[in-house]
């Protein structure tokens, strides 16, 4: 784990503690993906010019990670992160784009971000803008019908500047048998590849590549709760926030994680 990924996880833990609510396992599996996008790939600024690259968080559970990184980049004052989930706060577990204009979509219900991202890629094509559109989905979210409607559409339209990243943290293994996502998305017309979702260099190589003839799909194999031993091992952390003592212990675990 890079030091920047470690620092982001610690900020997320503090947000969860302050907000008394979180989906920590689900956020932690996507930390390296967010790091690579915001540190190395996205052309993005607070003014949000029309030709920017857009990052669409379809998997809304990773919102705290997104907001933490936006604060680190100077879009949100850091102290505001500690107001998470407060009545009047702009910070929550599922972002609202009307409160944070540099957040591309309001998320929450699975299966919505990917269709909107495909529409953005089409919109950019119509307007002749160069911006790329990256969308982060979860493997559980890939059960939703709209995801496959969109896969059909994006493949059929050959939306080259659209990249679907699946945070494949094994959520659905306990539900239905999904088969091989790379194979499935390839069959829908995507240029798909599978990478280690906690290896930032591998993620960078896969996500930065533009499709040669169609949309891209990057299946990032991740571990729920990655970067903190208790979050990896203890399933009760799917939807829970740390107490004062737990926060101290979890922060130490993040520091100690190899």
Partner 1 sequence: MRKAMQAAVRETIEEYADTALLLIDIGAFPMRELLKKYPQRVKNIGIFEPGTIGVAAGLSLTGITPIVYGISPFIVQRSLEQLKLDFVYQNIGGNFITTGAAYDFSALGYSHYCPEDVATLRLLPGMEILTPGTPAQFDALFKACRFDGRPSYFRMTDHCNQTQVDVEFGRAAVLKRGSRATVIAVAEQLDATLEACAEADVTVLYYTTLAPFDAETLRREYTGGAVFVSAPLYAGSLFADIAAALDGEPVRLGGAEIPLEVLRTYGKKADKDAALGLDAKGIAERLGAFLAKA
Contacting positions for partner 1 (CB under 8 A)? 50, 96-98, 104-106, 108-109, 112, 114-127, 129, 145-146, 149-150, 152-153, 156
Name which of 127 and 249 has its Cβ closer to partner 1. Answer: 127
What is the smallest separation between the CB atom of 119 and partner 1, expressed in angstroms? 2
Name which of 17 and 52 has its Cβ closer to partner 1. Answer: 52
Name which of 86 and 119 has its Cβ closer to partner 1. Answer: 119
Name which of 39 and 149 has its Cβ closer to partner 1. Answer: 149
What is the smallest separation between the CB atom of 206 and partner 1, expressed in angstroms? 23
What is the smallest separation between the CB atom of 201 and partner 1, expressed in angstroms? 30
Question: Which runs of consecutive H residues, i.e. helices, occur in 86-160?
Answer: 113-127, 145-157
What is the smallest separation between the CB atom of 132 and partner 1, expressed in angstroms? 12
Strand positions, DSSP E, 36-176: 54-57, 133-138, 162-168
Contact 133, 53 (CB under 8 A): yes
Pairing of strands 54-57, 216-221: unpaired
In this structure, what token pair is assigned to residue 167? Answer: 């945070």
Judged by DSSP in three states, 203 sits in helix
Residue 126 burial (10 A CB sphere; 0-12, 13-18, 19+): exposed
In this structure, what token pair is assigned to residue 35? Answer: 């790091």
Name which of 211 and 227 has its Cβ closer to partner 1. Answer: 211
What is the smallest separation between the CB atom of 79 and partner 1, expressed in angstroms? 27
């Amino acid at each position: 784990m890079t030091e920047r990924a470690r620092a982001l996880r610690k900020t997320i833990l503090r947000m969860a503690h302050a907000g008394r609510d979180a989906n920590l396992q689900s956020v932690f599996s996507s930390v390296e993906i967010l790091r690579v996008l915001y540190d190395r790939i996205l052309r993005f600024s607070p003014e949000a010019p029309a030709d920017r690259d857009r990052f669409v968080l379809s998997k809304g559970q990773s919102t705290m990670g997104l907001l933490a990184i936006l604060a680190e980049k100077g879009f949100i004052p850091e102290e505001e992160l500690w107001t998470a989930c407060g009545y009047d706060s702009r910070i929550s577990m599922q972002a609202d784009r009307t409160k944070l204009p540099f957040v591309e979509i309001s998320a929450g219900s699975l299966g919505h971000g990917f269709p909107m991202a495909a529409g953005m890629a089409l919109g950019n094509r119509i307007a002749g803008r160069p911006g790329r559109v990256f969308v982060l989905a979860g493997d559980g979210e890939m059960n939703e019908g709209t995801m496959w409607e969109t896969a059909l559409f994006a493949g059929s339209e050959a939306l080259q500047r659209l990249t679907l990243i699946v945070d494949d943290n094994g959520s659905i293994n306990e539900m239905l048998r999904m088969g091989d996502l790379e194979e499935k998305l390839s069959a829908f017309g995507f240029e798909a590849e599978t990478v280690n979702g906690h290896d930032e260099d591998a993620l960078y190589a896969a996500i930065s590549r533009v499709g040669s003839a169609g949309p891209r799909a990057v299946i990032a194999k991740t571990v729920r709760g990655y970067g903190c031993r208790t979050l990896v091992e203890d399933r009760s952390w799917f939807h829970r926030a740390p107490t004062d003592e737990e926060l101290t212990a979890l922060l130490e675990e993040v520091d100690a994680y190899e």
